Structure 1
Amino acid sequence: MNKCKIGLLIGAILIGILSVNACAQGGGGYTISGRIKGIGNTKVFLTNKPYTFTSAFKVIIYDSCFSKDDYFVFSGKLDDLKFLSIEVPSVSKSRFSFIGENKDIKIESQKDAIHAGKIVGSPQTTYYNYYLDSIYRPTKRNDNRIIDSLAALKDSAKSMELVNAYERMINRRNEAILYQLISEHPDSYGLLSEFNEISTFIPKDTAQKYYSVFSKKLRQTELGKRLNYELFAYDNLIKIGKKIPDFSLPDTVQRLQGLSAFKGKYVLLDFWASWCGPCLEELPHLKNIYNQYQTKGFEIVGISLDTQKKSWIESIKRNDILWTNLSDLKGRAGKVAQLLKIDAIPMKFLVGPDSKLLLINPTLADIEGFLSTLP
């Protein structure tokens, strides 16, 4: 089954050599100032956009100011390390992303290439940029050249075999190197972010080992706490035969609806989004299942990972989706998406009349097979 990934996989590649200062956010705040040559006097935004993100990412504008003769300044206090971005939408679609710290940070750039600016005062960003520019990207380019050359072989069967073997080798290499990188730089928020993107693709015990190497202060960040839940608590909380924790989310007219409202019925929690092709492709089949078994106490509750209400509502109407639909419009950061560790969609959970989990990530055939046994 095709799925829409809602995180971008960026793996560790080689061994870094720079150090990163401890990630503690001290008593002082931050000052982010600088010059973007050519923007003149216009509005500048401070947002939460990381280096890369998907449609399931909820964009937040933290602050804004007016530049004067190309210069801008922001000040405040962060309660956590996090990715930030400087944007000037009136003059460019480009942005400058970095890791926010409670430090005196200075940025220099120009309006035609805001993303290519320079930054000083953020040790976290300095190491992460080094990692991307000198470690990840060069090795990724080399890997892509090798894969392309293997894929171009005339013998298609042999070509596929060699490509798959090389990709497996890359994964083994990156796993080993990632552990060494984390061991050398346990305070790197950038590496924690990279680890977050691959943690579901490596064995659970390996991921737990890697996570435990990060510094205590980094593990106490918002991202660190979420990873702790996913790696150590999730499997004990969300499993077949156990009651799923109740939750409530807004529906399309902002009424809160909870899972408990469907007690006594078989409920399929269907995670989807308006931008998810595989989700939309399976709708006709899902509608057939709904129509066939609704009279037997079967309900579907759609939970969207959209972040734009208009897109969500329009997709429901355009695709004639009749079952209950909920969303907090926070994408992957939504409370239920995090509770159930949604890292790709479509994703489904079948819940019984007693609120106990019956199926996790079933195919539509699995769902039909189960429902066909109902009296």
Structure 2
Amino acid sequence: MKKILLLLTVCSVLLSCNKAGKNEYIITGTVKGIDGKTVILEKQDETGKLIPIDTVKIEKGKFTFKGAAKEPEMHLIQVEAAEGKVPFILENGDIEMDINKDSVGIAKISGTYNNEELSSYKEAGMKIQKKMMKFQKDNMAKMNEAQQKQDTVVMNSLRKEYAKFETEFVKQSNDYVATHPKAFISALIIESMFNQMDADIEKIKRYYNALDQSVKDTKPGKSIKSKLDKIAAPVAATSATSTEVGGMAPDFSAPNPEGKAISLKESLGKVTLIDFWASWCGPCRAENPNVVAMYNELHSKGFNIIGVSLDKDAAKWKEAIAKDKLTWNQISNLKFWEEPIALTYGVKSIPATYLLDANGKIVAKDLRGAALKAKIIELLGA
């Protein structure tokens, strides 16, 4: 009888340590110093808008969410009266959160495999970021002095040293993906590689193929496959031949921010630049001031631009156009990487550009900066 009671006690302890059932999640959060405030469980929809999933109250410094997750997915916790949000992976199991109301960004998330991995990945990234911030602090005065004196040798040297941190971030991500085929964040990292200026499609394909099937079956896993399939699929005959230098650029049409259809044909000048970009593309936004300056200088001589955006959020697209002062024709179907014009032109990464002559023939691709301006001036005869 005593042995039976002991066994029941042990079972009771084990069950209490694994509260969530097989197909459910229980989020248990601790927020010291806050009571009676609201906690919101949120996620982003396909347009990037945050939508509430559930709401609870903090009682005695604790809160609990319960539910069922079909698959791992990034979510956020918003605590009333606290600045910032807590990103985490919602998945079935017991998820524990220790939140500091004054430093929400450093909340400790644990309890499930993917959240443990997310924490480890972020910690490794923070180590690199701290080194980067220290380098900035130690060399700020030196950089300011070099800029004032136009000392390009010192400026280039400091930029070269700073670039090493960016390389370190890339290596961290690559190493993680290569060694964690069962981690959900591996799929998120791989998907983000499509947004790089010179996306290495073969590398993306190799990393995707090595993923565990459970990760391939998630939304980001399916998204990666969809993009790879589109890139690998035979492009329409016109795009296969005419998007090369020397070919005639395929005509296209799409709505501008006001909803009016604008075509390539009606946008042509003596020289025309087709600029594939997006509000979320950092390198695109960084290049925009140079393109604006070039357009302002050469438009009166016959230089035109038509921007084709790979955005999916109309508000963010319009905001970027206004903020970056892009005064030329802008169009988009707001279909992200499924933008039909980008697919026709075989665009695999952005920014991407096509330079056309007065007849619409492609004379150059993916030129930037001084090389782009020199080619435009040559074609204009300016």
Question: What SS does structure 2 have at the residue aligned with 1:309?
Answer: helix
Structure 2 match to 1:194: 189
Task: Confirm or deny: 8 A CA contact 1:45 1:61 kept in the other structure.
Answer: no
Alignment of 1:298-317 (within 5 A): 300-301=306-307, 303=309, 305=311, 307=313, 309=315, 312=318, 316=322
What is the CA deviation profile of residues 125-173 of structure 1, one whole-angstrom value per residue up to 9, with x for unaligned ones? 102212332x443356458768998998x99959966985896799499
Structure 2 match to 1:21: none
Greater helix percent: which structure?
2
Offset at 1:87? 1.3
Select 2:339's aligned residue among 336, 341, 344: 336
Offset at 1:71? 4.5
Structure 2 match to 1:209: 206
Alignment of 1:78-93 (within 5 A): 78-88=69-79, 90-93=80-83
Q: How many correspondences in the alignment?
A: 327
What is the CA deviation profile of residues 58-115 of structure 1, one whole-angstrom value per residue up to 9, with x for unaligned ones? 3422424242435544455555433211113x41222211122234434232322223
Structure 2 match to 1:63: 53
Does residue 1:348 correspond to 2:338, yes or no? no
Structure 2 match to 1:111: 101
Whole-Å separation in 1 of the counterparts to 2:40 and 2:252:
34
Whole-Å separation in 2 of the counterparts to 1:280 and 1:163:
20
Gaps of 5+ in 1: 1-25, 50-56
- TM-score calculated relative to the size of structure 2: 0.61
Structure 2 match to 1:286: 295
Does residue 1:361 correspond to 2:366, yes or no? yes
Structure 2 match to 1:10: none
Task: Confirm or deny: 8 A CA contact 1:304 1:326 kept in the other structure.
Answer: yes
Bigger mean CA deviation after superposition, 227-236 or 96-105: 227-236
Task: Confirm or deny: 8 A CA contact 1:84 1:99 kept in the other structure.
Answer: yes
Task: Confirm or deny: 8 A CA contact 1:46 1:86 kept in the other structure.
Answer: yes
Structure 2 match to 1:12: none
Question: What SS does structure 2 have at the residue aligned with 1:227?
Answer: helix
Question: What SS does structure 2 have at the residue aligned with 1:112?
Answer: coil
Task: Confirm or deny: 8 A CA contact 2:305 2:328 kept in the other structure.
Answer: no
Structure 2 match to 1:41: 36
- TM-score calculated relative to the size of structure 1: 0.62
Structure 1 match to 2:327: 321
Relative distance call for 1:93 and 1:164 in structure 2 (3 A) is same
Task: Confirm or deny: 8 A CA contact 1:43 1:64 kept in the other structure.
Answer: no
Whole-Å separation in 2 of the counterparts to 1:146 and 1:81:
37
Opposite residue 294 of structure 2, the aligned amino acid is: H
The alignment's C-alpha RMSD in Å is 5.2
Alignment of 1:112-131 (within 5 A): 112-131=102-121
**Percent identical:** 17
Question: What SS does structure 1 have at the residue aligned with 2:327?
Answer: coil
Relative distance call for 1:368 and 1:184 in structure 2 (3 A) is closer
Task: Confirm or deny: 8 A CA contact 1:37 1:111 kept in the other structure.
Answer: yes
Whole-Å separation in 2 of the counterparts to 1:309 and 1:29:
36
Whole-Å separation in 2 of the counterparts to 1:321 and 1:150:
37
Structure 2 match to 1:5: none
Task: Confirm or deny: 8 A CA contact 1:252 1:313 kept in the other structure.
Answer: no
